[in-house]
Each structure stands twice: as C-alpha cells, then as structure tokens.
Amino acid sequence: MKKITINDLMKWKQEGRKFASVTAYDASFAQLFEQQEVPVLLVGDSLGMVLQGKPDTLPVSVEDIAYHTRCVRAGSPNSLLMADMPFMSYSTPEQACESAAELMRSGANMVKLEGGSWLAETITKLTERAVPVCAHLGLTPQSVNIFGGYKVQGRDSDHAEQMVKDAILLKNAGAQIILLECVPASLAERITKAVEVPVIGIGAGNATDGQILVMHDMFGISANYMPRFSKNYLAETGDMRTAVTKYREDVEAGVFPGQEHTFE
Ligand code: KIV
Ligand code: NA
C-alpha cells in the first residue's frame, strides 16, 4: 500500500469512493491491516475496554495511547494513523498541545478529540501548530457519565440541528475529518453532505464517506459485548486476513453497514 494522506481521503470524498478503517493497537495486526490495504488506522482509547478490560475509556492515559501508537506505526508505516486524545488530556488548548505533541512524536498523523463547539479554539490551535485533527461527535464515550450510558445521540430534532452546526463549526475551526458515532443514518447523511471534509461513521449508517470498526468487534472477540452496529467478519470468513479484506470490500461497495447495523 502506498502512503495514505489526508489528500487521498479528500479526493475519495469528492469521487464518492468509500473507505474502510479499523482500530489497531499493536504491530502485528497493524501490519496485517496494511497488507489487506486498510488505508486508515486508529489507536482508539477503546483500548481501555478491549485491551485493559476496564468498563469505560476514562482510565486511559496519553502514555497508553503513545505506547500503542508507536507499536502500530512500527507495523504500518503507510496508513493514515489517527490517535485518540484520552479523557481530560485536552481540557485546555495548552494541555491539548502537550498531549498531541506526545502522540505525534509517537508516529500519529492526526489526533482525534471528542466534543462539540467548545473544542473549536483547541482545534484551531492544534492545526495552526501542525497537528491535524479529527473531531468525534455523537456518542462520545468519554462522556458516558454525562449521557448516563451508551445511547444513540441526535434523535430529537434540536439535538440533531446542534450536531450539524457543531460539525460545520469544527470543520471551519480546522478539523480535517469528522467522526460520527451512533447517530441516526439520516443525520449522518446530512452532516456528510454539509461538510467538505471526509466523515467517518460507526453506527451511523452507510451514507458517510468512511466506516470504522473496533478490530475486536470485527473479529467477534470483544471481552464485553458486541454492539448492534458491528459485524463479526471472522465468523463469516473463517480467517483474519479474509475477514479484513471482506470488511474493506463491503465498505467500499456500500454493503456494510446494512439496515440491521443502522439506527433511524
Ligand atoms: O476508541 C475507539 O475505538 C473509537 C472508535 C470507536 C471510533 O473512538
Ligand atoms: Na475513542
């Protein structure tokens, strides 16, 4: 696979070409994903749950993400590698710059932050200082204690309008990717059309430019439970390489996610 950059993703969006991405936490899987030509990888703070066995993502540290980012970069030199900024590592723009520096030095190409309009100033500061940003909206798992659980977001029309506004605001602040988690498919479609930058979805229907899955969900091996929007590609294919390729091809063909993986 050739080196993937944000320019490739922008071009694919303009061409209407869908792309797959997956989380990765170590060199061996990162290499396998690169060999199966998955263009975008994420070192997600989901590692708190799938690697550390914690009930949520809040205990994850910048050092945890930095360590796994170094591992993934070692296995996948050419993917566009995003790294999650953990809970409370970006509560001020200054702190965000320090945390992001650590992740970029570890090999990330972009950092991902959870939140709405309050992040605009932070996103501008990061991008001005050469740190590309992905803004994660919708079900933002670091806010589980505010939401009172993992629930689909943007179902009522006020909340939906707010999310469209936030996506545009954060894109204007400098965000180069928007990621939407667990939102109704029609809302994700609106946001995908409203912003010029690529939109990646998870539990957000199949109208987004890209899709992402937690790798443990794609293989059906998550320690806790299987979210309704995920699919166990290992069960269907019988081996990991074929599972990854099938997932990528299903995303590119617009076949995954299907109705059964989608909220309305
Ligand atoms: O941490 C993670 O794995 C994520 C994805 C689910 C988008 O943020
Ligand atoms: Na995350």
171 is an annotated ligand-binding site residue:
no
List C-alpha distances in Å: 44 to 107, 149, 208, 213. Answer: 14, 19, 19, 10
- Examine residue 94 and state whether it is found in any structural domain, yes or no: yes
Query: How far apart are the CA of 44 and the centre of ligand 2, in A?
Result: 4
Residue 33 confidence class, pLDDT cut points 50, 70, 90: very high
SS3 168: helix
CA end-to-end span of the chain: 36
Which residues are tagged catalytic? 181
C-alpha of 239 from chain center:
24
- Examine residue 248 and state whether it is found in any structural domain, yes or no: yes
pLDDT tens, 85-143?
A: 999 999 999 999 999 999 999 999 999 999 999 999 999 999 999 999 999 999 999 99
217 is an annotated ligand-binding site residue:
no
Counting the structural domains of the chain, the total is: 1
Query: Going by CA atoms, what residue is nearest to atom 1 of ligand 1?
Result: 44
pLDDT at 160: 98
pLDDT at 12: 98
pLDDT tens, 166-223?
A: 999 999 999 999 999 999 999 999 999 999 999 999 999 999 999 999 999 999 998 7
Structure tokens at 161: 């309008």
Query: What CATH number does the domain containing 135 carry?
Result: 3.20.20.60
- Examine residue 144 and state whether it is found in any structural domain, yes or no: yes
Taking CB atoms and a 6 Å cutoff, what residues make up the pocket around ligand 1?
A: 23, 42, 44-46, 84, 179, 181, 202, 212, 214
- Region 245-262: mean pLDDT is 96
pLDDT at 248: 98
Place of tokens 């990765």: 24
- Examine residue 1 and state whether it is found in any structural domain, yes or no: no
- Examine residue 191 and state whether it is found in any structural domain, yes or no: yes
SS3 116: coil
Structure tokens at 18: 């869908």
209 is an annotated ligand-binding site residue:
no
Instruction: Please report the ipTM that was assigned to this predicted complex.
Output: 0.99
Structural domain of 167: 6-261
- Examine residue 55 and state whether it is found in any structural domain, yes or no: yes
pLDDT at 264: 87
pLDDT at 222: 82
Query: Going by CA atoms, what residue is nearest to atom 4 of ligand 1?
Result: 44
- Examine residue 96 and state whether it is found in any structural domain, yes or no: yes
Pocket test residue of 45, 139, 215 for ligand 1, highest count of atoms within 8 A of CB: 45
In angstroms, rounded to a whole number, what is the distance separating the alpha carbons of residues 208 and 191? Answer: 8
C-alpha of 253 from chain center:
20
